[in-house]
Structure 1
Amino acid sequence: YPLIFPEDAEIRLPPEPAKNCSAKLEKKFEEYYKRFKKTGVDQNVAIQELKDFRNPCMYEKMISHLDIDEIGTNFPQVCF
């Protein structure tokens, strides 16, 4: 779904990263993309349809185990 913002919203994307991601990470995304093109299965949708993903208890365990900040951001503090 496209994101629609009010015309007066001051929303800007941060600048592009100064360096490329690792070759290992890039290869992983290439493999996901090839699999998507071959099968038509979206990895995000496939994960969301898993019973374990819908299980709130499992969700909490994943957040705790992976040390995820649910209300955090990937953007550096200087962007805000």
Structure 2
Amino acid sequence: MFRRRESVPFSFVAEADRFRSNVTPPPRPRSTVSERAGRVLVGLAVTGGLVGSLLLGLPALGSGESPSHTQQTEASHRR
């Protein structure tokens, strides 16, 4: 494919980096009470899910030895 190269003056490229617009964007609309309440509820649901999964997953991260297991092995060694 043939590409057509157009020369771009260096001053134009340098000026493009410095250009700032004097037009200010319109102010953002304020969020309503229901929108804020929805965000809070979503945040609480996500946080609750993470805490719940941590609480349910902690037993699986344990060493795997329960007190009854150690008592059985000690009893078998005493015989």
| TM-score, normalised relative to structure 1 | 0.27
Which of the pair has the greater relative contact order for Cα pairs under 8 Å at 6+ separation? 1
The structure with more radius of gyration? 2
Higher helix share: 2
Question: TM-score, normalised on structure 2?
Answer: 0.28
